Structure 1
Amino acid sequence: MDLKRESILCIDLKSFYASCSCIKRGLDPLTTYLAVVGATDRQGSVVLASTPLMKKKYRIKTGSRLFEIPKKKEIHIVNAEMRYYLEMSMEVTKILHRYAANEDIHIYSVDESFIRVNPVERIFGDKWAIARRIKKEIFEELGLTVAIGIGENMLLSKLCLDLDAKKTTEGIAEWTYESVPHKLWPVTPLSEMWGIGSRTQKTLNRMGIVKVGDLAHYPLELLEKKFGIMGNQLYYHAHGIDHSDLGAPIMLGQISFGKSQILLRDYPDKEEVKHVILEICEEVARRTRSSHKAGRTISLGIGYSKESFGGGFNRAKTMDQPTNITMDIYKVCLELFDKFYNGDVVRSIDVRLSNIVDDTELQLSLFDLEYPKRSRLGYAMDEIRRKHGSASLLRAVSYTNAGTALHRSKLIGGHKG
């Protein structure tokens, strides 16, 4: 197999939100105890980020709750400042543009980016020299610490970042194809490998696959029989092989559009829960249409409140025809909700659309001749919201006590600006 060998850097801004909040207040992120929360006035508010010392001494990390933070004078608790974080992220991107053209940079998230540097190695030095220069300039100019994984493709650079670079003293490491047997294959549990979630891990474990090396040596035809195209990708990724272009989804077979929401309060009324499900379906459909995609498999996840001792369910249904229409997705979600909901108090909702195709591949069904009209309506609504704001066109449920869309439309990145 002809393996693509490039110089790709995967750059992670360490403890980004917490570091930015420290810098804005003139504090050193490496010596400060600080936690960023969604809202300081809600004890159940989720911790979005914390400084390294906060994680080490008090075990407060992303996903912890405000009420878990000890009441200590040395601890700073601050609201998320999304507008400022985005500004800082853009400053980092400006530094990356000193070393690469637009087509060689992929902004993966607000705190993580990929950059292809082989076209400029003759100018700035090899990949290690460029990684060190970028790391130094980001720290000196912005005060932010970064970790950098270097790989011969996007997947290897990402795996190197997560499994190696973040743990080294320098914060930089490199993986090649030759690194895979002794660096990647010993990894366990499987969920430590980027792209493998807990549910896939459980399925693989039941097949006797415990380490990534087990996955790499499992018969390809059996993985494809069990997982379809995803089985093919799991096999090749276990060998460090990835033919994605920069910016393409690395796990193409797993691409999905979804939205998870931790509710602002407990929802004991099932009708109110349905109102929020409809709002979330609207957002999932919009995100899918924005990429001109549609999907056949709809998943609904419901998380129960701690008052109900937690728990919940996650179920999916695959339809005959792919869709990107809100009410199609909502209809399936209602079916799943009515079938599996046990009456407990709800605190979180997740809706996901997968098994993705291009919306140009949709076939007209003899049983739904109105589909093209409903599809055009969805795109028209998206355009109105794009021009006039997300709150310019809302469903009636968003104006009820259960609705959350009106509140969320005033947030940046899901949080206060």
Structure 2
Amino acid sequence: MSQPSERVIFLADCQSFYASVEKADHPEYKNKPVAVAGDPARRSGIILAACPIAKSFGVTTAERLGEALRKCPDLVIMRPRMQHYIDISLKITEIYEKFTDLVEVFSIDEQFLDITASQSLLGDPITIARAIQDQVMHETGIRIRVGISSNKVLAKIATDIWAKKNKNGIFILSPSDLERTLWQEPVHKMYGVGSRMTAHFTKLGMMTIGDIARTPLPELKDKFRARFGKQSDIHAEVMWRTANGLDNSPVSPGTFHAAPKSVGHMMTLPRDYADASEVDTILLELTEEVCRDCRQKGYMGSVVTVSCMCSPYETPTGFSRQMKMADPTNNTNKVFEAVKTLFYKYWDQMPVRRAGVMLSALTDDDAYQLTLFEDQERMRALDRATDRIKERYGSAAIMRASSATKAGQASERSMKIGGHYK
């Protein structure tokens, strides 16, 4: 049987994912406004997800918890459980894989599916989308919205602009119908366009997505060069291709697990850190996390980047600087020396609110430079031993003495994934 000539791509999105997981686990909150938020006592008191009922009161993602409670005093606040959300996301991936083997994870709550070849067995796109919705709802209690088109960018747009607002949560965006549909929408609704870019387009006289799409690409590049400089051609082409619904990229199941270009960690501190000894504690903890991740993934890095933001929030100071080390490494002590060199070269002595460490220019760690003055085998054996202890008993099972001080955050961070509680 011949396959359809045009691809059929889904972007499947989980509605209010974190909040939906919590409501599925707590049926007593079915008809109540629910939001998932961080820990207010540790400066992470923002809304991570809000259910549709909460949104009807005006509660929005990323607003402060206090503002949300003023809008909706009866709001039920759930602390995030990131590991549980990851587990549910993986379960949903397994459901999608029953419909097609071409599933690409786009984020924890969004995935692309290429169902082109599935139609001969499972039916037309709407039938397949409804079957997916029913099965995910039955197994997880999560509502799925599905945008459908011939490529990934149009499927994403179909989800964001229409499927999320449709009663049935499904929308087909036909490439042949863009002038009547997509091009009529205001610029701020275009995928990849935020508030700043919207303002730039407004100043260029482009109010709708169609205004961008109809502009000849060379002319759009000229406009971008005049506004953003000579290096803006690629950005102009991305905007123009998005507006015209052009995207040839395949749905690639392995994309989410591709080799990283860098490994980094950042930490927002629970209070201002002004003393150098306290800052050292945080920099060491971040360095240890980065190096441990590199060792787990089998990489070493030769470029270290240190970033910092200092008080006050209204007029913050800070920096992000990098340096190349003599040889690639994932040894905590060696990287920490480079981190301190960078930090104290650029720190303006203002109280530190946020800090980050990153290793890049990654290479495989199975080949490393031997030196006459260091027992690298001994250092690597020690790293492997401490890593095994942490893997077996948890990352807080063995810590440096400095992490046991008031400045230390290793124990607290061991209970979190991506900055949120497991």
Q: Is the 8 A contact 2:33 2:54 kept in 1?
A: yes
Name the residue aligned to 1:330: 336
Who is 1:22 aligned against? Answer: 23
Of the candidates 242, 247, 266, which is equivalent to residue 272 of structure 2?
266
SS at match of 2:288: helix
Q: Distance in 2 between matches of 1:272 and 1:226?
A: 41
Residue identity opposite 2:143 in structure 1:
T
- The one-letter amino acid paired with 2:278 is E
Structure-2 change in CA distance of 1:177 and 1:360 (3 Å): farther
Pick one of 243, 252, 274 that aligns with 1:245.
252
Q: Quote the offset at 1:44 in angstroms.
A: 5.9
Aligned position for 1:394 = 399
Q: 1:245 to 1:21 in 2, by over 3 A?
A: closer
Instruction: Give, as a single letter, the amino acid of the residue that structure 1 aligns with 2:292.
Output: R
Contact 1:233 1:253 in 2 (8 A): no
Cα distance change on mapping 1:248 and 1:87 into 2, 3 Å: closer
RMSD: 4.9
Unaligned runs of 5+ in 2: none
Q: 1:10-409 residue pairs with structure 2 within 5 A?
A: 10-26=11-27, 32-39=32-39, 45-62=45-62, 64-66=64-66, 69-70=69-70, 73-82=73-82, 84-86=84-86, 88-101=88-101, 104-150=102-148, 152=150, 157-158=155-156, 160-162=158-160, 165-168=163-166, 170-174=168-172, 183=182, 193=191, 239-242=246-249, 245-249=252-256, 255-305=261-311, 309=314, 311-319=316-324, 322-354=328-360, 356-359=361-364, 364=369, 378-379=383-384, 381-409=386-414
* 1:410 and 2:415 are equivalent in the alignment: yes
Q: CA deviation at 1:342?
A: 2.8
Percent identity for Structure 1 against Structure 2: 25
- How far, CA to CA, are the matches of 2:183 and 2:365 in structure 1? 38
Report the CA distance shift for 1:409/1:44 in structure 2 as closer, same or farther (over 3 A). Answer: closer
Residue 115 of structure 1 deviates from its aligned partner by: 3.4
Tell me if structure 2 keeps the 8 A contact 1:294–1:322. yes
Instruction: Please give the per-residue CA displacement for 1:99-130, whole angstroms capped at 9, x wherever unaligned.
Output: 245xx344454423333433432221133322
Instruction: Spell out, residue by residue over 1:259-282, the C-alpha distance to the aligned partner (whole angstroms, 9 max, x if none).
Output: 232223332334312311221222
Task: Figure out how many residues of one structure are paired with residues of the other and give that number.
Answer: 399
User: Residues of 2 paired with 1:368 and 1:153: CA distance?
Assistant: 56
Code of the aligned partner of 2:405: T
What TM-score, normalized by structure 1, do the two folds share?
0.72
SS of match in other structure, 1:137: helix
Indicate how the Cα distance of structure 1 residues 135 and 245 shifts in structure 2: closer, same or farther if over 3 A, else same.
Answer: same
Distance 1:70 1:295, change over 3 A: same
Once the two structures are TM-superposed, the CA of residue 12 in structure 1 deviates from its matched residue by 1.9
Tell me if the contact between 1:298 and 1:318 (Cα under 8 Å) persists in the aligned partners. Answer: yes
Cα distance in structure 2, aligned partners of 1:401 and 1:159: 47
In 2, are the aligned partners of 1:155 and 1:237 still within 8 Å (CA)?
no
Unaligned runs of 5+ in 1: none
- Give the CA deviation at 1:94: 4.6
> Aligned pair in 2 of structure 1 residues 42, 374: CA closer, same or farther (>3 Å)?
closer
Displacement of 1:10 in angstroms is 2.9
Contact 1:298–1:317 (CA<8 Å) still a contact in 2?
yes
Normalised by the length of structure 2, the TM-score is: 0.72
Contact 2:306 2:356 in 1 (8 A): yes
